[in-house]
Structure 1
C-alpha cells in the first residue's frame, strides 16, 4: 500500500534539501553563471544529483557539458535520453572521456551523427569513452529507432550487467556473435527488434530479466533456449496490439507460439521447476492457444501452477482480458482490464514500462469506464485517474494513440461540473497535458477536438493559477493550423474568455505576433459573409461573436495591435458588420468596443473621421429605446450607444476636421442628447484595466458630450464593480480613482463656470460613491482660485440637480435637440 501511495501521489512528495540545492546549482550551470566560489571537487553522489537535475531541466546540451569538468565533478552516470547532442561536439568527447562511468543511457534520442539517421556506436566508443568506463560500465541503454552500427564494440564492456537494444532495427546475425562476451548480463531488453532467432541467448545463463516484447521468433527452439536461463525472475513475451487494440492471429501463425513453447518446456521436466525464481510473466497481446476461452484459461492455469513463485502475470489484450482470473491458493496480481481497479493498475504498470500499445489500450478501457460509470468513481479514484492519465500522456507524448485516448479520458474527468471533484493540482495537470498534446499535434483534428472540448469549461477557465498566456497562445496556434470548424469555434471561444484574464505584459507579448490579429480579422470577414449569405448560420454567428470578443480584448490598451488590425482591413470589415448587422445588438456592441480601442490611437483617428459613412453609422448608433431591456435584463441600446459615443468622443480630439462631412459641434450635440437619456444600469456592461482612456479625453477635450461619456463610464463601473478586483490585478475601480490626477481634473471641471450642468451632476455622483475612499477635500488645495466659479464653496456643499415629483431627474436647462444625419 505504501508503494502504491508513493506511485500515485508522487507529485505531492516534497523534494529533499539535497535535491533542491542540486536543482539550484543545475540552473546556474545551465545559465552560464558562476556556481562555485572555488573549484572544489564535488563528491560522486552530489555530482550525479546535479547531472540528474540538468536532465530534468532538459538543459543537458553542449554548452552545459563543457562546464562539467572532471576537476570539479565526479560523474559516474549520464542520461541523454532527452538530448540530441551531435556526436562530434568537442564538449561530448572531452566531458565523457574524463568520466569513469558506471551507467550510460543514450535512450530514444541518442547521441546521433549530425544526420540523425544512424548511430555509429564504434565511433562513439573510440572517441568518447575511456578505458575505465569500458571496464567498469554496468548499465548501458542503447534503445532507439535508428540503425545502429558497430555493435561489435559491446564485447569491450567487461562488466556489463544491463543492456537495452529495444526498438533498434537489428537482427539476430548482428547480436548473436556477441552473446559469448556478455556472460555477466542480468538484464537484457531486445523488445521490438528484428531478431527472429534467440538460440544464441543460451550463453546468457545469468539473466534474471529478459524482455522480448513483440519479438517475432520464427526459428530455433525458443523453449529450450529459455530453459537454459534458470535464474529468470522476469520474462516478457508479450505482443504488440494492432491499431484497433486486437491481437493479430494472422501474424502469430507465422511465428513460434511462445506461451505454448514456454509451457511445453516446463511440462517436459516431470514436475521439476524450470524457472524456480520466476516472479513476473507478461503474456499480454498473445492469442493464448487460439482455441477458445476455455483453452486459454487452461493454458494459463498450467503456467501458473508450474511456477510456484509467480506473483505478477500480464494478460492485457488477450482473450482473458475481460475475465476475472483467480487461482485458488495463489496470491496473483493480474494485469488486465476486468475491473476498474485493474484498469488503473494496468495503466500505471505499462506507462512505466514504455509499452505504448498497452498504455493506449488501458486508456481506452478507462475511457469507457468513465463514460459508462462515472458516478461510481470515488473522489480518490478520480484523483488517481487524473494523475495516471497525465503521467501516461507525458511519457507517451510522441505516441498519437496515447494522446488520443488520454485526452478523451481527460474530457470525462473535466466535463462540466465534474471538474469540481478534482483538486486544483489535478486540474492544472490536466490542463498542462491537454496543452502539451495540442502543441505536439497541431494538425491532428480529432486530437485537437478532444483537447479543446476538455478545456471549454467555465470553471476550469476561471480557476486561479491557470497559465492563461500559454492557453491563449496554444489556442491561437491550433486555430491557425486547423481549418476544422469545430476546432475554430472552441479555440476562439477560449481565446475570448482568457484574454481579459492575462496580465497586460502577457497580452502585449502574445499580440507581438501580428499573424494572430491578421487571422482573427480574416475570420471576421469569412463568417460575417457566411452569415449574410445563409441568413441564419448559427455556427458562424457563434464564431463571429467570440472572434469579436477576442479582438476587443486583444486591442485593449495595445496601440500596435490596433495598427495591425487597421492594416489587416479590420476597420473596413468592422464598419461593414455594423452596417449589415445593425439589428443584432450583441454583435454591434462588440464591434464598437474594438473601434473604441482603435479610436484611442492618434494615428488612426483621422482614418475614421474622414469617412462620412463611418461617422453616419456611429451617429445612428446613438439613437435607440434606452429604457427597453431584453430577456436577460440588459439595455442593449444603451450598450451600443455607449461604445459608439466612446468612438466619437475620441474622434473629437482630432484637430483637423476640414476633411469631415460633420462638424465637431454637430457630433457633440448628438452626444449630449443621447447620453442624458441613458438610465443608470444595474449590471456591469464593460470593464477597464485603467481609467487612462477617460483621462486622455478629460484633460484635452472641452466638448460636453465627450466629458459626459467619460464621466458616465467612470460612474457606471464604480456603481457596479467597486468591490470587485479588476482584470485579476487585485486593483478595484475605487483604487484606480485614488490616483490624484483624475480627482483633480474632475474638481476643476466641476468648479469651472462654463461646465455643463449634467457634467457637474455626474461628477457629484462619482463623489458620492467614492468620498469614503478618496480625500477630495485635500485635493481642492491644488486648484487655482482663478479656475473656480464664484458660487463654489466646498465639494461637500454640492447639490444634486432638481428632481421632479416622480423621482426622475429633470432635464438640464441647456438641453440640446437632436441632430439629423443623412446616410446617403
Structure 2
C-alpha cells in the first residue's frame, strides 16, 4: 500500500508514468498510442539492419561506416534502443568503440556482454550515468568498477552508477574500488557482494547524496555517519546480515538529518519491528519527504499518523503488507497515482491502458488485502468507467475484468448506488444475458470436455453472480443451469471445478423458493459422493448443499429420496473434519451470515446447525475484523448464545458456538488495546 500526501507537491524522486514516453517510446500497443517519432523510427531501422550497414573487423565484431558520426543525445538513444531490443552483444557493442559515438547516459540493463567488450566500448567515453543493473554474469560487478576506474575522467565525473547482480551475491569478487569514483552522487549496489568495508569506502565519497545498499552483505551501517551531512536518500531494504541492535541502527539513522528519502521496508521472511521503533522516535528524520516501511510488523495507523503529523513535509509513506493504512487519515489525504491518472484522463487511451495494467498487478498476489476499502472502491469505479469508454480494446477489457475478479473487491468493496426503475430493469436484463452467455460457455466446454481457464472463469463468474442474488439464481434455474452443472460434475473430476459447481448450488439452495427444485436424484447422488471428497473445499460445499436442502422436509416427502441417511452421513462427516480454524486451499468468503441463521435456529436438525457453526467459526478465525463486526451488525451473537445455553443442543455445536464467542471477545479486547 502506498499513500501520497499533499497532492500539490510531487515526491522528489518519483515521476508519474507517462504512457507516451514509456520504454523509450515503445508503447505497449502501437495502435493505441501516438505515432512513433521520426527519430525512433529511424533508430529502429538502424538497429534492425545493423548487420547490413556495418562492416566486420577481423575479430568478428561490427564497425560503423567511417564517415558516420552520432551526437551525444542520439548516441545515448541508439544504445538504449539496442539494449531494449536485446541486440546488445559482444559483436554489436563494438560499434561504440572509438569516437564515432559520444555517450553520456548509458543504459546496458540486462545486457549479455563480456568484460573485454564492456571496457572497449564504454570506458573511454565521458559518462555521467551508467545503468548496469542485471547484466550477464560474464560481466562481473568488480570488472565494471575496475574498467571505469581506468579512466581518470570517469573517476572524477561519473555521477550516477546503478548496479545489481543476477547471480548469488557471494559469488562475486570483494575487490570493489568505489572509493576511486569520487564524482559519484548516486550509487545503487542492490544485491551486490557489498560488505561493511565497502560501505566505509563509499561513505567517504565527497559528493554522495543517494545510496541503495539493499540486499547486500552489510553487517554494520555506522560508516554512514561519515556522510551524514550530505546523504539525502538511503535505501536499505532487506539487510538480512545486519548484526547491530535496533537502538544502534536507530542511533545512526537519527544522525542522518539531511535525509529526504528512507526505505527500510522488509522482506516478508524477516518480520522486523525496526519500523515500529522508528515511528516512536520524536527527534528522528526531521526533513523526511518519503518513508517506506512496507512489511514491518506491529505498525498501527495511530503510530504512522502521529509520525506524519510531526513532519508536515512528508509526501509519501509505503505501508504495503503492514497492519496500517485503514485510517480515514490516509484515505482523505491526497490521491494515489493510478487513481489520479485514471480520473484526470478518462478518455486518454494510453493512460487508461497503462492504469488498468497497474491496477491488475496491484490487486493480484494478495496485495489488495493490504489496501483501504475506499481506495479499492474508487479504483473499481474507475475500472468500470474505462470498460465503458473503451469497449473495443480487448487487452484493456481483460485487465479491468481480471482486476474485478479479485476476492477482496468482490467481497469487501461497497457499491451503494440508487438506481432508477429503468436502470434496475436494464440491470436485470443484463444479468439475465450474462447468466445465459456464461451457461452457454460452460455447456460448450463440457461438451468438448475441455477444462481450461475459460471454463474455470465462467464457473467462478456464475458463482459470484448468484451469491445472495435470488434473481440470478432464478435465471440460472430457468436456463437449464442445473442440468448443465450435473453434466459438468459427470464430465470433470477436478476439485477446482467441483468446488465452484457446489458453491453455486449452495447459493441456489439458500433461496427458499428454489431449493426444493434441487431435491433430485442426480443432485443427491453427486453431493452425497462429493461429501466424502479428499478435498476439504469440495466436502465443505457438498455439506452446505445438504444442510440447506434437508432443512425443509416438504420436498423430501413427495419423492422416494431418503433424507435421514443423508443427514446422518453429514453429521459423521463433519465429526471427522479437522478443526474449523483449519486452512483451506480456497479462501471461503461471505457477504452476510443471514443465510446461516435459519440453520442455527433449527434445534430439531443438529446436523445442519453443526455445519453452519463450523462455517461461521472458520471464516471468523481467518478474518476476525470483518466477520466479528458482521456478527454484531446482523445480530447473530444472540443465536450463538442461545445454542450455547440450550439444554437440548448438540454438545459439539455448543462447543463451536462457545469458540466463536471466545474469538469474538478476544478480537474486541485486542481492538481496545490498540492506541
Please, what TM-score do these two structures have when normalized by structure 2? 0.46
Q: Which has the larger radius of gyration?
A: 1
TM-score (norm 1): 0.38
